[in-house]
Structure 1
Amino acid sequence: MADNLTTEQRVLVVGETLVDIVHTPDGAVAEHVGGSPANVAMGIARLGHDTVLATTLGDDDHGTRCTEQITSHGVTIENLDAGQHPTSTALATIDDSGAAEYDFDLHWDLRPVTGLDRVAHVHTGSIAATLTPGEAVVTQTLAAAREHATISYDPNVRPSIMGTVDEVRDRVEELIALSDVVKASEDDVAWLYAGESLPDVMAAWGRLGPGLVVITRGGDGVAYRVSATGELAQAPARVDTVADTVGAGDSFMAGLVSGMLDAGLLGDADARQRLREATLDAVAGSVSRALATSAITVGRAGAYAPTRGEI
């Protein structure tokens, strides 16, 4: 659990949990609990927020391992039933050059999410937002919660498994229109909108509805834009040492949500209105927290989730 008191505002994360099974050239095999939404949920909980993850896990050893690790970070897990399916996996085979080939075994048949009246903020993204049949439940959840809660979304596109770029772009824009905060990577934008500039894409996304759009740029830091004024700013990365970049984007997302909840820019309909009127100065502290959390993550091996005390 986080090394600070848990805040009262409940955060719901909706999305996949999976196990990464990594085969390296020396014959070693390592397994890691993953899935972008699961990583975000663990990151938000470690920063002291009451966090629930709506996901699916099989009744198997992988499911048990996922449950143990996620709950050890302070997350409550709901919607566990995966039917007769096993826990989703991503088999990664690493060659001598360090490149990876992936073989996914994914199952995403999410039951309707309950208890939305107790939720202040909902986050979703990645595979869960595009994979049928569960993606329909994701949409229903966001639409129902939006009446009283705020929404954040990270497309985190996976071109090899999500479909054609035209299909995915339409789906991404549908979810952006339901969101208050959108965070994507520079690579996401380059695939979805080949040849278009970041400022143009950010402006177009802002016109769909969110009050804040943030684009991560790896070692080049981030660009972010507030819709109220159309102002665009950049902030440098804070990384001193890099162990690996696993989970860096998810850690950034967790820090961003945490910072904005604390700033009163997420959490209810009034917060949504404040965000719609926000200037760059109003969101700068939240972006700063996100950069701090991701910097700590890349300095550790694996998708490490820092506590509030560490940042």
Structure 2
Amino acid sequence: MSFLVIGECVADIVRAPAGSGVADRVHPGGSPANVAYGLARLGRDVTLLTQLADDSAGRLIADHLRGAGVRITLGGTPARTPSAVVGLDGRGQATYAFDIAWTLEAGEPADATPARVAPAHVHIGSIAAVTAPGADTVLAETERLRDRATVSYDPNVRPKLMGEHAEAVARVERCVALSDLVKASDEDLAWLYPGRQPHAIAARWLSLGPAVVLVTRGADGSLAVTRHHTVTAGVPPVPVVDTVGAGDSFMSAVLDTLAGRDRSALGRLSADELAGLLARAGAAAAVTVSRAGAQPPDRAELDAIRQEFGLRSGRVS
């Protein structure tokens, strides 16, 4: 099964808490790029449609992605590779200050690869899906492919880049309506819909079209909502180095777990299947927060942490 991920690459310049004595670290990042990388680490066939400049950050990111097996298609070359200064508090929680422009075009392969079949699944999200003018290309490509591919979306809200609130919500909901599965964090939902509970927001999103809505809640675990079931799950208690890329690792594991399910099958997921999905994805996120930067697990690491903590199921409510 082949995956197409459409979205930005970002050089994450990670700064430790003031007074820690730790030097800045530069990590390959960008939520869609992290999802593509996570899928490749799990052995999946994945192509990333993105933009990279021919600079040191762009080369670092390209080498990182290709090293895991990600194929890169470039939709234009920006003057510089996007970057984000990532601040960490004493608990490893991350905040971001971005330097990014997004002007995606349909793209041509940057890697010399044989002709490929159309993807079976398309993943979109983050800055790329809502930032003009490149977001128009993201949505057009998604609409072109969705008749023959399932679609997932992660808003990965960055408030400083979202613009006027009502317009941002409308753009997010357009992406939700194109999707079969949506994943968001509780922080995303709190910004998009202040004062509303995740269950109510999930119900609204389900009414727009998706079959499954997932909500990540950090150390409090995760939530899955469909038209038939609501399921919650915890996460393994691991030491947190930083939270960079945790949600993207969760997303990669979700897509890996559900690989091959068509639109109809996603709508028929049982409570037990949803519980297992959350447990496996939560384990992937736990591996990622236990080490610096967006470093998702490979299949062996993911299996190992699930065995260590006996992760099998969540709780049906």
The residue type paired with residue 212 of structure 2 is L
Unpaired runs of 5+ in structure 2?
109-114, 303-317
Matching residue of 1:64: 59
Stretch moving more, 19-28 or 36-45: 19-28
Question: In the alignment, is the contact (CA less than 8 A) between 1:117 and 1:145 conserved in 2?
Answer: no
From 277, 291, 316, the counterpart of 1:300: 291
Give the count of matched residue pairs: 293
Matching residue of 1:48: 43
Change (3 A) 1:119 1:99: closer
The residue type paired with residue 65 of structure 1 is L
1:35 aligns to 2:33 (yes or no):
no
Question: In the alignment, is the contact (CA less than 8 A) between 1:58 and 1:87 conserved in 2?
Answer: yes
- Map residues 114-133 of structure 1 onto 2, 5 A cutoff: 118-133=118-133
Matching residue of 1:249: 247
Cα displacement (A) at 1:93: 6.0
CA distance in structure 2 between the partners assigned to 1:221 and 1:178 by the alignment = 26
The residue matched to 1:177 in structure 2 has which SS?
A: helix
| TM-score normalised per structure 1 | 0.88
CA distance in structure 1 between the partners assigned to 2:209 and 2:37 by the alignment = 27
Cα displacement (A) at 1:116: 8.6
The residue matched to 2:4 in structure 1 has which SS?
A: strand
The residue matched to 2:76 in structure 1 has which SS?
A: coil
Cα displacement (A) at 1:166: 1.0
The residue matched to 1:118 in structure 2 has which SS?
A: coil
CA distance in structure 2 between the partners assigned to 1:100 and 1:224 by the alignment = 24
The residue matched to 2:258 in structure 1 has which SS?
A: helix
Question: In the alignment, is the contact (CA less than 8 A) between 1:13 and 1:41 conserved in 2?
Answer: yes
- Map residues 91-240 of structure 1 onto 2, 5 A cutoff: 91-92=85-86, 102-113=96-107, 118-227=118-227, 229=228, 231-240=229-238
From 239, 247, 270, the counterpart of 1:279: 270
Matching residue of 2:313: none
Show CA shifts across 1:74-108 (max 9, x none).
1111115324x211111346799989775422121
Identity percentage of aligned residues: 43
- Map residues 75-90 of structure 1 onto 2, 5 A cutoff: 75-79=70-74, 81-83=76-78, 85-90=79-84
The residue matched to 2:139 in structure 1 has which SS?
A: helix
The residue type paired with residue 284 of structure 1 is A
Cα displacement (A) at 1:280: 2.1
CA distance in structure 1 between the partners assigned to 2:157 and 2:292 by the alignment = 23
Cα displacement (A) at 1:241: 2.3
Change (3 A) 1:134 1:279: same
CA distance in structure 1 between the partners assigned to 2:142 and 2:100 by the alignment = 22
Question: In the alignment, is the contact (CA less than 8 A) between 2:94 and 2:242 conserved in 1?
Answer: no
The residue matched to 1:119 in structure 2 has which SS?
A: coil
The residue type paired with residue 31 of structure 2 is S
Cα displacement (A) at 1:281: 2.5
Matching residue of 2:305: none
Stretch moving more, 280-289 or 158-167: 280-289
The residue matched to 1:249 in structure 2 has which SS?
A: helix
Change (3 A) 1:51 1:97: closer
The residue matched to 2:297 in structure 1 has which SS?
A: coil
CA distance in structure 2 between the partners assigned to 1:175 and 1:246 by the alignment = 24
CA distance in structure 2 between the partners assigned to 1:36 and 1:100 by the alignment = 13
CA distance in structure 2 between the partners assigned to 1:78 and 1:125 by the alignment = 17
Matching residue of 2:315: none
Question: In the alignment, is the contact (CA less than 8 A) between 2:176 and 2:205 conserved in 1?
Answer: yes
Cα displacement (A) at 1:244: 1.8
| TM-score normalised per structure 2 | 0.86
Change (3 A) 1:16 1:210: same
Cα displacement (A) at 1:20: 1.7
Change (3 A) 1:199 1:108: same
Question: In the alignment, is the contact (CA less than 8 A) between 2:93 and 2:242 conserved in 1?
Answer: no
Unpaired runs of 5+ in structure 1?
1-8, 266-270
The residue type paired with residue 273 of structure 1 is S
Question: In the alignment, is the contact (CA less than 8 A) between 1:177 and 1:209 conserved in 2?
Answer: yes
Change (3 A) 1:122 1:96: closer
Question: In the alignment, is the contact (CA less than 8 A) between 1:82 and 1:107 conserved in 2?
Answer: no
Show CA shifts across 1:243-278 (max 9, x none).
2211110100000010011xx42xxxxx11111233
The residue matched to 2:85 in structure 1 has which SS?
A: strand
CA distance in structure 2 between the partners assigned to 1:236 and 1:141 by the alignment = 35
